[in-house]
Amino acid sequence: MAAATHPFVFMGCVELRQALDRHASDERELMDRLEEVPAGSIFYHTHGYFLRHRPLTTAYGNDFARWAAVEVRDQTLAERLAVVDPFECADLESLRQELVTIVHDHLRGLAAVPRAEPTGTFHFQQSHIVTVELGPRATTLAEFRDGLAGVDASAIYVHMVEARARLGRPSGDFAEWMRASLGLTALAERIERIDSFMTNLERVRARVLGLVDHALDTPSG
């Protein structure tokens, strides 16, 4: 089995949340705040949703859609926000613009601005991701497989979400390492195509493991 030119280092993370002094009590305030909050807050409430979301609860895709559905009870806006796939946006500013446009267009068709319950104010936050090296480093695909199977789920977030969306590594770390260090281009492309939207980190882990297992069983693939 081929050894990598550089070992793969699994990194887990802890999300340290920071409250911003920005709040929205109704949908117009949501739109106004969306325009002015730091890009890190847009990231926290969209991409970060996948780090926090558990399969136990209803999936809304992002915190804004959840707020519209649960606190404002505006299912139409919730649905329109929920389908925004943050992974399809070129950058956080494009994502911000898409969210603002959706709320703006929605409000244009309404006579009154829908408001949240008094206890349901939306509080904007951002996060600081503290990364931690985990487990032994992998130098072969088999070692990578073993490492991935046992590593904390936050590592999937670091390598598949954070790397692509915020750290300027659009292929994600798994695919990039397989292509650059193992020369496994076909496997790298398959991993790149994994849809991280509207799922959870464990499912993404299972899909990567499935593809790696297949590659290990059929070395030519």
> Which residues sit at the interface with another protein, rule CB under 8 A?
12, 14-19, 21, 54, 56-57, 119, 121, 123, 125, 128, 130, 132-135, 151-154
Given a contact cutoff of 8 angstroms between Cβ atoms, the answer to whether 103 and 30 are in contact is yes
Q: How far is the CB of 197 from another protein (least distance, A)?
A: 21
DSSP structure string for 140-169: SHHHHHHHHHHS-THHHHIIIIIHHHTSS-
Residue with tokens 């002094």: 21
Task: For another protein, give the closer residue by CB, 150 or 210.
Answer: 150
Task: For another protein, give the closer residue by CB, 2 or 14.
Answer: 14
Distances (CA, A) of 41 to 62, 68, 123, 173: 12, 17, 10, 23
3-state secondary structure of 24: strand
Q: How far is the CB of 48 from another protein (least distance, A)?
A: 13
Q: How far is the CB of 109 from another protein (least distance, A)?
A: 29
Task: For another protein, give the closer residue by CB, 54 or 108.
Answer: 54
Which tokens sit at 190? Answer: 């398959």
Q: How far is the CB of 22 from another protein (least distance, A)?
A: 10
Task: For another protein, give the closer residue by CB, 18 or 94.
Answer: 18
Tell me how far the alpha carbon of residue 93 is from its chain's centroid: 16
